[in-house]
């Protein structure tokens, strides 16, 4: 009788009925290799993939890959890749640290040709920045320090000839600007001191600029208070505005701006409802 019972158990084991230990192991492996997951605190962790259906505002085809990268404690960490509309050709490949661009990056056109390369330090250009025409010919070369031009700067025409050159220190032109011009098929060299030595950074501050009135805000674990403190995010979980609101508009706080590649490039500080300065990125 005992022998018969043992044979029955062995038969069930071979047939796959008793697979509980193996199922658990597979589930553990599946969980360990899962993507687009959050931890027990609701923070994104591990590798995430975003498709057109996940980010409708990008207007990508629903099944095409838009963005992929790694999260740590809800923040971008490591290499992130954004794709062109075909979902295959990289548009941007860059390193992140603590949710900010930090490290080397490259940008490509729709044909996969390199059009920009450089380095970020805490979200700001740092070191050599190079830009290229779609043909691959250099367009711009410059040195940066903490987001400002700092060193020898060169602009090139589409033939690769230096069109404009100058030296800059902390965003201020030092010495003469050298520009090549073509007149009557003859190339001339023009050297002149700029009337305004300060190189403009971004857009000019408009007088009495106010933050936009918020509509359909995304907040976490709270209800948006049009007359109180809020922290609101975009669909990619990037912070957009942080501070005290009045009448649904940021009154005292920070407004974060991102470029089309999702890179934070500006932080606007508002006081008493007015844009007063740029904050540290």
Give tens-digit pLDDT for 213-238. 999 899 988 899 999 999 999 887 88
Please give the share of the chain, as a percent, with pLDDT higher than 70.
76
Please indicate whether residue 256 or residue 204 has the higher confidence score (pLDDT).
Answer: 256
pLDDT at 201: 41
CA-based torsion, 244, 249, 254, 260: positive or negative:
positive
Where residue 69 falls among pLDDT bands split at 50, 70, 90? very high
Long-range contacts made by residues 202-207, C-beta under 8 angstroms, separation at least 24?
202/265, 202/266, 202/278, 205/275, 206/275
- State the pTM of this model: 0.61
The pLDDT of residue 208: 67
pLDDT at 46 over 80: yes
Which residue ranges make up each domain of the chain? 31-192, 202-281
In 61-171, the DSSP E strands lie at: 65-72, 75-83, 90-97, 100-108, 114-121, 124-125, 127-132, 138-145, 148-156, 162-169
Q: 31-192: which CATH topology?
A: Outer Surface Protein A; domain 3 (3.90.930)
Bigger pLDDT: 46 vs 31: 46
Rounded to the nearest integer, the mean pLDDT of the chain is: 80
Q: Identify the pLDDT of residue 10.
A: 45
Residue 256 has pLDDT above 60, yes or no: yes
Q: How confident is the model at residue 194 (pLDDT cuts 50, 70, 90)?
A: very low
pLDDT of residue 281: 57
Pick the more confident residue, 276 or 60.
60
Contact partners, residue 30, CB within 8 Å, separation at least 6: none
Position 86 pLDDT exceeds 80: yes
DSSP helix, strand, coil percent of the chain (3-state; round to 5) = 10, 50, 40
Report the C-alpha gap between 79 and 262 in whole angstroms.
13
pLDDT band at 141 (very low <50, low <70, confident <90, very high): very high
Residue 167 has pLDDT above 70, yes or no: yes
Residue-wise pLDDT for 96-137, tens only, equals 998 888 999 999 999 999 999 999 998 889 999 999 999 999
Q: Which stretch of 136-145, 160-169, 192-201 has the lowest confidence by average pLDDT? A: 192-201
The stretch 260-278 carries a mean pLDDT of 81
């Amino acid at each position: 009788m005992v022998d018969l019972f043992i044979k029955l158990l062995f038969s069930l084991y071979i047939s796959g009925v008793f697979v509980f230990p193996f199922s658990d192991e597979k589930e553990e492996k599946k969980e360990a290799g899962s993507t687009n997951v959050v931890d027990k605190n609701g923070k994104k962790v591990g590798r995430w993939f975003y498709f057109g259906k996940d980010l409708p505002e990008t207007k990508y085809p629903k099944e095409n890959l838009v963005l992929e990268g790694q999260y740590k404690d809800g923040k971008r960490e490591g290499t992130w890749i954004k794709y062109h509309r075909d979902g295959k050709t990289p548009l941007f490949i860059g390193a992140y640290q603590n949710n900010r661009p930090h490290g080397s990056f490259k940008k490509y056109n729709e044909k996969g040709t390199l059009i920009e390369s450089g380095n970020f330090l805490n979200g700001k250009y740092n070191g050599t920045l190079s830009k290229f025409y779609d043909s691959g010919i250099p367009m711009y070369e410059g040195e940066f320090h903490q987001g400002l031009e700092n060193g020898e700067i060169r602009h090139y025409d589409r033939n690769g000839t230096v069109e404009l050159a100058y030296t800059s220190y902390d965003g201020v032109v030092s010495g003469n600007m050298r520009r090549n011009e073509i007149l009557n098929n003859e190339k001339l060299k023009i050297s002149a001191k700029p009337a305004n030595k300060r190189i403009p950074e971004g857009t000019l501050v408009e007088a009495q600029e106010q933050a936009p009135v918020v509509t359909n805000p995304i907040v976490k674990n709270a209800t948006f208070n049009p007359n109180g403190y809020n922290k609101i995010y975009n669909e990619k979980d990037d912070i957009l505005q942080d501070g005290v609101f009045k009448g649904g508009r940021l009154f005292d706080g920070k407004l974060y701006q991102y470029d089309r590649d999702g890179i934070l490039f500006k932080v606007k500080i508002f006081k008493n409802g007015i844009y007063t300065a740029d904050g540290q990125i």
